[in-house]
Structure 1
Amino acid sequence: MEDLKKVIEARNRELMDYFKAGDMKAVSNMYTDHCKIMPPREDTLFDREGAEKIFWDVWESGVREVELKSEEVEPMGCDVIYERGTSTMKKGDGSVADVSNKYVVIWKKVGCDWFLDIDIFNSNKA
């Protein structure tokens, strides 16, 4: 069996690289076609269009880098994984925009690749 944590960490590096490059279309393509994104203080967003929108909103707020740190990765079957972790968002000048983020992601295997299917994240910042 593949080392699931390494697989998810590699996929997270891809997402972080796409975000840093400002390529929100590539970020959204890391999600399933029928994904659900549950950001703080907003209604649930659906599908890749919703994923692209939320990441553009984050970008437009001045965030230029998202650092994801996987803390727990476990299988939930042969084609589903859950991940729990933390993230740090940084502005263009390198200063921290929000350091107290946490997230839970349900990953789904489609074909040979893993895609984000359900993504919920929030901030401890008031």
Structure 2
Amino acid sequence: MLPPAARLTRSQDFGLVVRRGRRAGRPRLVVHVLKPDVPTLDSSKVGFVVSKAVGNSVVRHRVYRRLRHVVRPVLAEMPPGTLVVVRALAPAAEASSSELAADFSSALRKVLR
């Protein structure tokens, strides 16, 4: 579970990150990252988008749990105030945790360059 301070919950925040942030796509997911313009002490936050295109409720929640497990250790290493949105694509339903982790780390490296 992610602590409440590390979660994106407002629709406006999701929209801001998707519109103004940098994006990197991989076969199973897309990562959007918005770094703060000025240094801040706020913690980094992450939000997940797992649509019905991924599968039924059981499949979507399984993908969400796997992504949350992949992102949790990386979140603490990000610059303070960074906002991240991870959008799962349909192939994520059949992906293993290691495949999701590889896609996430690859996309994150590209965006944070």
Q: TM-score range by the shorter chain?
A: 0.3 to 0.5
What's the TM-score once normalised by structure 2's chain length?
0.35
More strand by share: 1
Larger RCO of the pair (alpha carbons < 8 Å, separation 6+): 2
What's the TM-score once normalised by structure 1's chain length?
0.32
